[in-house]
Amino acid sequence: MPPESPTEPSHLPHSYLIAAAASALTTALLFTLFPRIEQANVAMLFLAALIPVAMKLGRGPASLCAILNVIGFDAFFIEPRFTFVVEDLRFWITFAVMLVVGLLLANLTAGLKAQASIATERERKTRGLYELARRLGAALRNEQIAESVEELITEQGLGDAVLLFPDEHRRLSPTQKRMPMLDLHLAQWCFDEGRSAGIATSTLAAGPLHYLPLTASVRTRGMLVLDPADSRSLESAEQLQHLQTIAALAANALERTHFVAVAQDTLVQIESQRMREMLLAALSHDLRTPITSIMVIAETLATSDTVEGEARTELLTSLRRQTQGMARLVTNLLDMARLETGERPLRLDWQSLEEIIGSARQALADQLRGRKLTVNITPDFPLLHADGVLLERVFVNLLENAVKYVPADMHMGISARTEDDTAVIEVWDEGPGMTGRNLERLFHKFTRGAIESSVPGVGLGLTICRAIVDAHGGAISAANRPDGGASIEIRLPLSKPPEWTQEEESGTHE
């Protein structure tokens, strides 16, 4: 609601009528009290009555009231009464003084009131700016800044405003908030030139809207476009300045969010850099053993003429396994890095757990040869909505770990069942189990801190398993089985299975 201009009431014709009525009322009131009150006191009271009139109705009407009061005083309280004739000429001085004092009183009081209004108005504006500054101080995103500014401008009665922000090519993007008369090209020009345009400016002043670039210390960060509440909103220099102050606050806030974003990006880059360095360190560490083995085997085969038959086959098989192990390690590390940086998004599709386990077993065919691995999947186990390649990686890693830890003649297994809307998959073995009180730490081998130099490759495998399972919205945990051996439990959320139409059975196919 636009505040009433303090001088407005004096522009209204009926203010004068009210002032005249007030004068008449005062006269009537005093008349009833006369002659108990002396003339001198009547004069004082006439003057006193001017004050409320001046405060309420302003300069003009109060001046009229002052004049009418003098006339009334003359007419009703000075002999001869009920005439304008004055017998005692000393009363002319009284009239003169009364008129002058009355007019002064009227004007000063009205002036004082006006000052008070202006002060209140200024305080309102300042409070608005203070509130805006406070809200902008807490704003983290450009949308929040836009909201706060647009709201304040509406509250302050300036009109309807919308903030425009540039994309990474410095092109302003249209906002969701509608402003029908908004000219995006003009806004873009203002943004590029850093100049304002539209109503109350020197460029395209006939336009319906006011375009104001939001420029802070470094560069223009956005545009403020105002649809003024009425044509007079921006008339006064004070109103325009008020708008510009708001714009300056907004520009500063935008600059701050910009640099916060830059700082965050830099932090992410530093993190990625650090992750890469850790992974490289892990890689060189974990590759040392297989590389050494390969070197030894290759040298043995090259230099010794006597390695034949079974011994030779064994060496060659070992060579192959070491190489495959290295390849898996490198793949793990690559995928870990890419998962962390978001470079490899999840490719979700309907997967058969049976197939994934089958593929994992295939990939580790050499390692699993001769081992007892039992797979038990409940008959009605549903399709999983998951990234097949990554889920296969989880099982490859878990089986590879089991093979490293569990003696060849001990049982290993994978079992899967559902619990309400969760798939519960367990990879278990009857081996020695896992050491350490806090088994959770097994999954954190390669986050901040030291790289554990335990069985090579184990740590990273579990860390990747966790990253992949987490990415699927699931959970992975490790525990020792009560009867001995280790158990890794994976829980994955089940999605509603897809629709499919069963074909009609036609008996044994002919």
Least distance from other proteins to the Cβ atom of residue 350, Å:
4
Selected from 144, 188, 352, 418, the binder of other proteins by CB under 8 A is 352
Query: Per CB under 8 A, does 359 bind other proteins?
Result: yes
- As measured in angstroms, the least distance from the Cβ of 509 to other proteins is 5
Sheet holding 475-480, edge to edge: 373-377, 412-419, 422-429, 486-493, 475-480
Identify the sign of the CA torsion 10, 15, 17, 21: negative
Q: 3-class SS at 274?
A: helix
Can you tell me which of 37, 262, 327, 455 binds other proteins, judged by CB under 8 A?
327
Residue 383 contacts other proteins per CB under 8 A: yes
Could you say whether residue 429 binds other proteins (CB under 8 A)?
A: no
13 vs 342, beta carbon nearer other proteins: 342
Rounded to whole angstroms, the Cα distance separating 462 from 459 reads 6
Given strand 159-166, what is the order of strands in its sheet?
172-173, 159-166, 220-228, 210-215, 197-198
10 Å Cβ neighbour count for 240? Answer: 18
**Secondary structure (DSSP) of 416-439:** EEEETTEEEEEEEESSS---SS-G
* Cβ atoms 138, 132 nearer than 8 A: no
Which residue, 380 or 420, is less far from other proteins as judged by CB?
A: 380
Q: How far is the CB of 431 from other proteins (least distance, A)?
A: 21
Cβ distance to other proteins smaller for residue 310 or 510: 510
- Smallest distance, other proteins to C-beta of residue 276, A: 17
Least distance to other proteins, CB of residue 427, Å: 13
Q: Is residue 469 within the footprint of other proteins (CB under 8 A)?
A: no
According to the binding rule CB under 8 A, does residue 231 interact with other proteins? no
354 binds other proteins (CB under 8 A): yes
Can residue 404 be called a binding residue for other proteins (CB under 8 A)?
A: no
Question: Which lies closer to other proteins via its Cβ, residue 321 or residue 441?
Answer: 321
358 lies in the site for other proteins, by CB under 8 A: yes
Q: Does 301 bind other proteins (CB under 8 A)?
A: no
Q: How far apart are CA 372 and CA 352, in angstroms?
A: 22
HSE toward the beta carbon, residue 375, CA cutoff 13 A: 15
Kindly tell me which of 51 and 383 has the beta carbon lying closer to other proteins.
383
* Residue showing tokens 């490790």: 478
> Judged by CB under 8 A, does residue 413 bind other proteins?
no
Task: Answer for the pair 476, 463: CB distance below 8 angstroms, yes or no.
Answer: no
* Residue 61 CB-half CA count within 13 A: 27
Could you tell me the smallest distance in angstroms from the CB atom of residue 505 to other proteins? 6
Q: Which is nearer to other proteins, 344 or 491 (CB)?
A: 344
**Sequence-separated (6 or more) residues with CB below 8 Å from residue 140:** 257, 260
Closest CA to 105 of 29, 48, 21: 48
Q: How far is the CB of 361 from other proteins (least distance, A)?
A: 6
Residues whose CB falls within 8 Å of the CB of residue 19, separated by 6 or more in sequence, listed in order: 53, 57, 61, 62, 64, 65, 68
* Tokens at 237, concatenated: 């220099």
Q: Is 421 in the site for other proteins (CB under 8 A)?
A: no
Could you say which of 361, 411, 481, 491 contacts other proteins (CB under 8 A)? 361
CB 377, min distance to other proteins, A: 7
* DSSP-derived secondary structure for 449-501: SPPP-SSTTHHHHHHHHHHHHHHTT-EEEEEE-TTSSEEEEEEEEPPPPPP-P
The stretch near other proteins (CB under 8 A) out of 102-110, 167-175, 226-234, 493-501 is: 493-501
Choosing from 351, 415, 480, 495, the residue that interacts with other proteins (CB under 8 A) is 351
Among 389, 451, 475, 494, binds other proteins (CB under 8 A): 389
From candidates 111, 166, 388, 456, binder to other proteins by CB under 8 A: 388
Q: Does 500 bind other proteins (CB under 8 A)?
A: yes
* 346 binds other proteins, rule: CB under 8 A: no
For the bound state, the minimum distance from the C-beta of residue 324 to other proteins, rounded and expressed in Å, comes to: 8
The number of residues that bind other proteins (CB under 8 A) is 36
Report, in Å, the least distance between residue 303 CB and other proteins. 22
Q: Strand 373-377 vs strand 412-419: parallel, antiparallel, or unpaired?
A: parallel
Site for other proteins in 307-326 (CB under 8 A): 320, 323-324
CA–CA dist 293, 316 (Å, integer): 11
What single letter denotes the amino acid at residue 439? L
Strand (E) or helix (H) holding 376: strand 373-377
Binding residues for other proteins, per CB under 8 A?
320, 323-324, 327, 331, 334, 344, 347, 349-352, 354-359, 361-362, 375, 377, 383, 388-389, 392, 497-498, 500, 503, 505-510
